[in-house]
Amino acid sequence: MDVYHRTGLYPQPLPFTPGVEGAGTVEAAGEGVAGVRIGDRVAYAGPVGSYSEARLIDADRLVRLPDAIDFESAAAMMLQGMTVRMLLRAVHRVEPGDTILVHAAAGGVGLIMCQWAKALGRR
């Protein structure tokens, strides 16, 4: 997505700060914010602007991270992970006994899809 913005394939109004995926630590929370607290490790995908040191972002955009996932990995997998979730759970809910064929299984989406499907006990 970031490359598409930089090349102009998906034009953005200027000036803009590029970057769609990010991760970091919650430094502050507005009044009435639920689901995240100061100090939580989080990641997000969208809106544009993640190439920044700090930013304001709606709490409902954030996913809390387990300690085992570092910020770099989390930021790199958000859009791919959401794509896999959509494919395994919404486009066709993969059920026990299903076999799936993944073209380009070594790519970002394919790798996550194969690992997720295996964790679900699918073939």
Over range 47-56, report the average pLDDT.
Answer: 92
3-state helix, strand, coil in the chain (%, to 5): 35, 10, 55
pTM: 0.80
DSSP assignment letter at 96: T
Residue 63 scores a pLDDT above 90: yes
Q: What is the 3-state secondary structure (H, E, C) of 51-86?
A: CCCCCCCCHHHCEECCCCCCHHHHHHHHHHHHHHHH
User: Percentage of the chain with pLDDT > 70?
Assistant: 100
Instruction: Name residue 118's amino acid.
Output: K
